[in-house]
Amino acid sequence: MSAQIQRSNRSPLLLFTLSLLALSVLFILVFLSPSNSNPTSFHPPISSVKPETSFVLSLEHFLTHKAPKSPPPRDDTVPAAGDVEEASRKLDEALSEAEMERVVRDPYYPLGSPIRVYVYEMPWKFTYDLLWTFRNTYRETSNLTSNGSPVHRLIEQHSIDYWLWADLIAPESERLLKGVVRVYRQEEADLFYIPFFTTISFFLLEKQQCKALYREALKWVTDQPAWKRSEGRDHILPVHHPWSFKTVRKFMKNAIWLLPDMDSTGNWYKPGQVYLEKDLILPYVPNVDLCDSKCLSDGQSKRSILLFFRGRLKRNAGGKIRAKLVGELSGADDVVIEEGTAGEGGKAAAQAGMRKSTFCLSPAGDTPSSARLFDAIVSGCIPVIVSDELELPFEGILDYRKIALFVSSSDALKSGWLLTYLRSVSAGDIRRLQQNLAKFSRHFLYSSPAQPMGPEDLAWKMIAGKLVNIKLHTRRTQRVVKESRSICSCDCRRSNFTNSPPS
């Protein structure tokens, strides 16, 4: 009996001793481990990291801290002696098998599954070298286009190729977007991303050097087995500036183009090259700082200007309406129309003007779209869109009637019509539109890390809606015989514009 009492008295003491020992070991492992001995090695949870929205600052951090120091031992370049047709056939078989496995395994596929994207490992002259070229020269503000705009500012406005690519190649532990994942085996991919910086090359390389690089990029991509398998239908090509890749893009017209506009006027894209069923419109990167809810609230009393516009007043094609509107609106006391470019001084002036205005005029530019639209949105200035041919980013998800007013060109040019219309908008409607602008701004701010419901996320959501159709057209093209009559409007639209790549 006494032995049992001794054992029962010893048990709590033994348990307490073992607990202290376990806590000591845990302390040593957690607080004295090598990863914690250096405070600078601590990385906060990604959700607590403030997103960077400046292209220049994000690129600087990327190239300095994340970019590899030297090219990988191999890239995806197809050997000259390789049997590309055989490789294409084998890849097609592997993709078909993987597709059926996913259909059987996942009852929600493809609607509830993340898009699987293979990012090509292209030679560095198409990727990192161009990023370094921009980084090393962007301070050269004397480098201007023919109309006086700093080329580096234009590159920033069209830098969607950087933002999407930087998110795709980031470690999965640092990414917040769950609707798209990067895969490292082509046979697992739904889509193939082409990381060629077409806008940087267009603006920063000599004309002949740029054209030569475009031809090299064209050959490199179209030689890929995956391209030959689908004729490019499941490939994503960023061509966000309407001048970029212009000399060769007709040979890649089957790919999914990432564009600023559909440009139905035909001035920038030839008939059969772009259309909503295939391509995706992405917003310009805003050229002004965000005016958040607090900024909107604090500055409400300062919005003394009824209608504001600052930009190039003389444009080509559909943009000629700008000069006509200037003539119609000039002289009004509460209207400010200013000539300006996208330089630093222009940015400050545009930002100040938009934050003092209730409405911001958004007429067509050289294409039906204009960067001023997105500047107005993030400034809390209600856009007044005067562009009859405009297509808008993410319109399958966003309802722009909640944040903007749409006016036909014919109405806008009637004497006195536009100002009478704007003055008739009630205070309640203005307040509702401004409140919605504060909520919608997040959809137009590119950032690193890319944010849920930001433009990168919405881009993949829109592409997800196209995915079944992409697969349909790929399979259908593979099986039809040459005598078959096309019954698909997309194929019909393309069939009369067949081109062969240059040799």
- For residue 213, what pLDDT is reported? 97
- pTM for the structure as a whole: 0.84
Q: What is the DSSP letter of 120?
A: P
Q: How far apart are the C-alpha atoms of 184 and 351, rounded to whole Å? A: 43
Backbone angles phi, psi at 80, to 5 degrees: -60, -35
Question: pLDDT, tens digit, for every residue of 34-86?
Answer: 333 333 333 444 556 789 999 999 999 999 999 999 998 889 988 766 788 89
- For residue 147, what pLDDT is reported? 61
Comparing C-alpha atoms, which of 272, 254, 250 is closest to residue 501? 250
The DSSP-derived string for 195-251 is: ---HHHHHHHS-HHHHHHHHHHHHHHHHTSHHHHHHTTTTEEEE--STTTTTTTGGG
State both tokens at 467.
Answer: 């995915």
CB-CB contact of 261 with 367 (8 Å)? yes
- For residue 23, what pLDDT is reported? 52
Question: pLDDT, tens digit, for every residue of 199-252?
Answer: 999 999 999 999 999 999 999 999 999 999 999 999 999 999 988 999 999 999
Q: What is the DSSP letter of 327?
A: H
Query: Does the pLDDT at position 434 exceed 50?
Result: yes
Average per-residue pLDDT in the chain?
Answer: 84
State both tokens at 62.
Answer: 């990327």
Q: Which of 137-141, 283-287, 290-294 has the lowest mean pLDDT?
A: 137-141
Long-range pairs for 257-262 at CB < 8 Å and ≥24 separation? 258/160, 258/161, 258/164, 258/282, 258/459, 260/158, 260/284, 260/367, 260/369, 261/367, 261/368, 261/369, 261/390, 261/391, 262/368, 262/389, 262/391
Burial class of residue 487 (count of CB atoms within 10 Å of its CB; 0-12, 13-18, 19+): exposed
3-state secondary structure of 346: helix
Q: Where residue 300 falls among pLDDT bands split at 50, 70, 90?
A: confident
Comparing C-alpha atoms, which of 7, 474, 30, 31 is closest to residue 255? 474
Mean pLDDT value across residues 396-419: 94
Neighbours of 49 (CB within 10 A): 13
Q: Where residue 333 falls among pLDDT bands split at 50, 70, 90?
A: confident
Neighbours of 394 (CB within 10 A): 20
State both tokens at 362.
Answer: 């958004």
State both tokens at 403.
Answer: 């944040």
CB-CB contact of 490 with 278 (8 Å)? yes
Q: How far apart are the C-alpha atoms of 188 and 200, rounded to whole Å? A: 31
- For residue 270, what pLDDT is reported? 79
Question: pLDDT, tens digit, for every residue of 105-125?
Answer: 888 787 778 999 999 999 999
Neighbours of 83 (CB within 10 A): 12
Query: Is the bond into 449 cis (omega within 30 degrees of 0)?
Result: yes
Write the CB contacts of 423 (distance below 8 Å, at least 6 apart in sequence). Answer: 306
Q: Where residue 21 falls among pLDDT bands split at 50, 70, 90?
A: low
Query: Does the pLDDT at position 332 exceed 90?
Result: no
Query: Does the pLDDT at position 338 exceed 90?
Result: no
